[in-house]
Amino acid sequence: MKIGGPIGLALVYYRIFQAVFNIGARLLPWRKAIPIQGAGSVGRIPELLREAGVSKPLVVTDPGLVKAGIASGITAVLEGAGIPYVLFSDVEANPSVKTVNVIYERYGSGGCDGIIALGGGSSMDAAKGAAARVVRPKKSINQMGGLLRVLRRLPPFIAVPTTAGTGSETTIAALITDTETHHKYAVMDLCLIPRYAVLDPELTLNLPPHITAATGMDALTHAVEAYLCWTYNTRESIRFALEAVKAIFENLETVYADGKNIEARQAMLLASYKAGFAFTRAGVGNVHAIAHTLGGLYNTPHGLANAVILPVVLEDYGARVHKKLAALADAAGLALPASAGDADKAGAFIKAVYAMNERMGIPRGFNFIKDGDIPQMTQWAARESNPLYPVPVVFNRERFRSVIEKLRIS
């Protein structure tokens, strides 16, 4: 990109925006969801509710967790403690504006005063969106899309992840899909960070291998993109990103092959939590910008989309990220000769991501991307990424198109 041309001027603006935003972000009241860890830790939920002053929570989950009996495990804990509750169990993948509004209405009609979100990112995102509507009843969820448009303290919110991937139990974001436009966007505000994150590995023991794989690669994408961000990072977010990469390379394929390994499941939950904190503080990047378009247009699971896109974008970044990818290769424990330089280590890291995807049955690309959708995808991706995301390499629409074309397979 040549400074002075239209793209160059845009690049200068993006970097100035990010530098100024970075200064402002460091003045904000960042916090982490309080982690409650260990097998059986869901049994502490009544105690957490009492501490938060909640007398009747709304439990938000999805039909799959009801069918699997996981939701009844949570409601049984509430019933055993004599705590009344309202259950909403119809969250879909890539939760819609309609679902958010129904949850909001259920919260009010049920006389609820707190929220328990049980599930993966979809349940947590839908619950966060509904909580935002509770404190901003005169605003639609679409009007709160973007950054810092809620700015109200949410009702007490407990996040109980059943997958180790999204990190939504500690993030500022809720991803919502407008089914009328097929646009998937984020509501982002510090108030959306849950109060507690209950990391109980027993809830993940029966995850199918393909979901274990996709959600684990989602967590890896969060850690990698956070580490590559050039300006918003802090010492803590950098440390958490590196620790998450290390833990994911050590444990993901273990739990993929042996879902009952409770120690590895706990390690993956903590890695997801750390990666979630890292990208919440440091930002994500072009991988996510493209992945969200696939979720909106084709209902592609977010973790699967990230897994496929991650190595393609890393390759496209080129030499600009070699030094940082070399550090990630070290964190991942890749066996490389002592003479290996940054470029060698970066290439090895990218190859390791491709290889891990292949061993876990994740495809190299997607055959459903339509020619006619690519202009819309490039527009959405560029608008999401620029100027907010502090990516190591800024993509304009043409470069997004080039990467999307690489994702297409016949």
**What are the pLDDT tens digits along the chain (410 aa)?**
444 445 688 999 999 999 999 999 999 989 999 999 999 999 999 999 999 999 999 999 999 999 999 999 999 999 999 999 999 999 998 899 999 999 999 999 999 999 999 999 999 999 999 999 999 999 999 999 988 999 999 999 999 999 999 999 999 999 999 988 888 888 999 999 999 999 999 999 989 999 999 999 999 999 999 999 989 999 999 999 999 999 999 999 999 999 999 999 999 999 999 999 999 999 999 999 999 999 989 999 999 999 999 999 999 999 999 999 999 999 999 999 999 999 999 999 999 999 999 999 999 999 999 999 999 999 999 999 999 999 999 999 999 999 999 999 74
Looking at domain 207-407, its CATH superfamily turns out to be Dehydroquinate synthase-like - alpha domain (1.20.1090.10)
pTM of the model: 0.93
Domain ranges across the chain:
34-204, 207-407
**Fold (topology level) of 34-204:** Rossmann fold (3.40.50)
Q: Are 408 and 374 in contact (CB under 8 A)?
A: no
Q: Which two tokens stand for residue 152?
A: 């109200």
Long-range contacts of 132-139 (CB under 8 A, 24+ apart): 132/174, 132/187, 132/189, 132/191, 132/192, 133/100, 133/101, 133/104, 134/104, 134/107, 134/108, 135/191
